Amino acid sequence: MIQVPFGTAEWQSIAPFSLVAIGGMIALLWSVFAEERPGTTSVMWMSQAGLAAGLAATIALLGSEKASFGGTFAQDGVSLLANLVFLLSASMTMFMAQGHLESMGVRAREFYPLVLFATSGMMVMGAARDLVILFLGIEVMSLAAYVLAGIHRRDPGSTEAALKYFVLGAFATCFLLYGIAAFYGATGATDYDGIRAGLASAPRAALIGGVALLVVALGFKAAIVPFQAWTPDVYQGAPTAVTAFMSVGVKAAAFVGITRLFLDGLGPLHLDWQRILWVLAVLTMTVGNVLALVQGNVKRMLAYSSIAHAGYLLAGVAVGTSRSGGAVLLYLLTYAFMTLGAFGVLIAMGTGEKPNDELEDMRGLADRRPLLAGAMTIFLLSLTGIPPLAGFVGKLYVVEAAVSSGWFWLAILLVLNSAVAAYYYLSVIIAMWMRDPVGDEPAWESRPYLAAALLAAAVGTVLLGLFPSGTLDFARHAFASIVR
């Protein structure tokens, strides 16, 4: 048994996710036990404070890279940037949900604490350098996410989404545990340093089996083809704010977990997993894009588009260099801004009675709400990958990493895929700008928090696209110490 130290470094490294979790608990208890039942706004602000505390603790670690708990829990540049993505998506989700859930008839104060719990799970995933800790993070995140998907209790779609997600998620957990067991059996360790050391003498069949099992389990969380079947139904059924959170936060956490596992823990195995991930990446982006082409519902279309983006991200992982790791991390940040923004616009479209998320509903939006249509146009163009928006630099760096390692076909298939994707993103733009509106104008609701979140997302999308240098350098530098 390894002697696990517990000193200042350990306290510091668990501070970010603990503070978020504690913030969630306080908000939850307060919303239940307060003298007067507090309004959702105050719970929301209280939860934001929890996120802010987590952010402060994260930033405090900047510059002092530590591996704590005997190297099984890392507080390095990767987890720092990952934490930023998680906190950003949680915070934006909460702002966007404010007013949106109420208008759907969901008076759920527990929504905000649940988002915090999920976030703290993600932060554990982002820092995990041990399969068991990774497992703990995944489960903390997932349990909260299952509840979030079903938060609209009276809506059959939301309940179905929760059930599907839960059953399939439980299934994926089995694979994860079997995978962990296979590695433990083969290498005698669950921490990445131990696994790396044991790889050379481990039986090959067990390793390949373990890799396959882990790919299935993490592929499920990240919605990678062919483990994506749950995604469209769950994303469409869940309330849009939850969908946004799942497609950004959950996916990002899964990808940070995958990237760290493969680049760090399984680094020496390169050739075995690279070929698997290569095929899965191309499959994922192609299937996601092709299915997105035929969707008439914008929310569902965005669900498929998020599968396609998972493919681009996986391509970055498959390349397996510190360059590509940095590119994946930057991509996650750009993806967070533009995807949250696009879902935020869909939230703004919805009224109490109707979600208004069909392609038909987008018609003539530029006439009715030019600012909203303008924001959506920015997000969609960024998702398409038009310079100088954030989505373009994300893709560019993945392509650059792939080309610099000689993976030309991967790069070519990636860019061709994004050209296909242009069609469905454009069709929304065309509906908004070039078609006449149908039906009566819905009774829009004014939601200042949502508007602020959309503005922030749009500004982030543009600025990150114009000035990605600093972030990219940081991300690459972070991976340089991991990829050995």
Please tell me whether residue 4 adopts helix, strand or coil conformation: coil
Distance CA 340, CA 450 (A): 11
The residues in 440-469 that bind other proteins, with binding defined as CB under 8 A, are 467-469
Q: Is 422 in the site for other proteins (CB under 8 A)?
A: yes
CA–CA gap between residue 220 and residue 169 (Å, rounded): 8
Please select the residue that binds other proteins; options are 206, 293, 415, 463, rule is CB under 8 A: 415
For residues 267 and 262, give the distance between their C-alpha atoms in angstroms, rounded to a whole number.
6
By the rule CB under 8 A, 387 interacts with other proteins: yes
Closer by beta carbon to other proteins, 353 or else 441: 441
* Of the residues 418, 456, 478, 479, which one makes contact with other proteins according to CB under 8 A: 418
**3 vs 469, which CB is nearer to other proteins?**
469
79 binds other proteins (CB under 8 A): no
Is residue 481 packed enough to be buried (19+ CB in 10 Å), middle (13-18) or exposed (0-12)? middle
Residues in the chain: 484
- Spatial distance between the Cα atoms of 431 and 427, rounded to a whole number of angstroms: 6
| Residues 285/340, Cβ–Cβ less than 8 Å | no
Q: Which stretch binds other proteins (CB under 8 A): 51-59, 84-92, 98-106, 385-393?
A: 385-393
Q: How far is the CB of 313 from other proteins (least distance, A)?
A: 18
Q: In the complex with other proteins, which residue's Cβ is closer, 128 or 390?
A: 390
Q: Which is nearer to other proteins, 206 or 455 (CB)?
A: 455
Q: Which stretch binds other proteins (CB under 8 A): 48-56, 145-153, 207-215, 414-422?
A: 414-422
Preceding omega of 38 cis (within 30 degrees of 0): no
User: Would you count residue 90 as binding other proteins (CB under 8 A)?
Assistant: no
Q: Which stretch binds other proteins (CB under 8 A): 115-123, 143-151, 356-364, 428-436?
A: 428-436
Looking at the Cβ atoms of 353 and 473, the one nearer to other proteins is: 473
DSSP label of 371: H
**Biggest alpha carbon distance in the chain?**
70
- Stretch of 173-181, 259-267, 290-298, 424-432 contacting other proteins, by CB under 8 A: 424-432
What are the CB-based long-range contacts (under 8 Å, 24+) for 365-368?
365/431, 365/432, 365/433, 365/437, 366/432, 366/433, 367/436, 367/437, 368/437, 368/441
Q: Which stretch, 26-34, 281-289, 338-346, 403-411, contacts other proteins (CB under 8 A)? A: 403-411
- Whose structure tokens read 């760096």? 397
* 169 and 219 Cβ atoms separated by less than 8 Å: no
Of 105, 106, 265, nearest to 198 by C-alpha is: 265
Q: How far is the CB of 148 from other proteins (least distance, A)?
A: 36
Six token digits for residue 56: 């402060």
Instruction: State which residue, 11 or 409, has the beta carbon closest to other proteins.
Output: 409
The DSSP call for residue 74 is E
Q: How far apart are CA 294 and CA 127, in angstroms?
A: 38
Contact residue for other proteins among 419, 439, 448, 459 (CB under 8 A): 419
Residue 11 found at the interface with other proteins (CB under 8 A): no
Give the helix/strand (H/E) hosting 67.
Answer: strand 66-68
Of 49 and 386, the one with the shorter C-beta distance to other proteins is 386
State yes or no: residue 427 binds other proteins (CB under 8 A). yes
How many chain residues interact with other proteins (CB under 8 A)?
32
Candidate list 34, 279, 412, 459; residue touching other proteins; CB under 8 A: 412
Non-local CB neighbours of 59 within 8 Å, separated by 6+ positions? 80
Stretch that binds other proteins, among 127-135, 173-181, 273-281, 394-402 (CB under 8 A): 394-402
Nearer to other proteins, 229 or 430 (CB): 430
Least distance CB 29 / other proteins (angstroms): 46
- Asked if 64 touches other proteins (CB under 8 A), the answer is no
Q: Which is nearer to other proteins, 125 or 396 (CB)?
A: 396
Cα–Cα separations (whole angstroms), residue 54 to 237, 258, 353:
30, 23, 36
Give, in order, the Cα–Cα distances in Å from 286 to each of 154, 290, 328: 35, 6, 19
Question: Tokens 């949502």, residue?
Answer: 450
Q: Is 434 in the site for other proteins (CB under 8 A)?
A: yes
**Any contact of residue 296 with other proteins (CB under 8 A)?**
no
Smallest separation, CB 171 to other proteins (Å): 37
Distance CA(324)–CA(397), nearest Å, equals 7
- In sequence order, which ranges of 261-364 are alpha helices (DSSP H)? 271-293, 298-319, 322-349
Q: Which of 52, 212, 403, 480 binds other proteins (CB under 8 A)?
A: 403
Query: Interface residues for other proteins in 335-374 (CB under 8 A)?
Result: 366
Which of residues 242 and 399 has its CB atom nearest to other proteins in the complex?
Answer: 399
Residues that bind other proteins (CB under 8 A): 366, 381, 384, 386-388, 392, 396, 399-400, 403-404, 408, 411-412, 415-416, 418-419, 422-423, 426-427, 430, 433-435, 467-469, 472-473
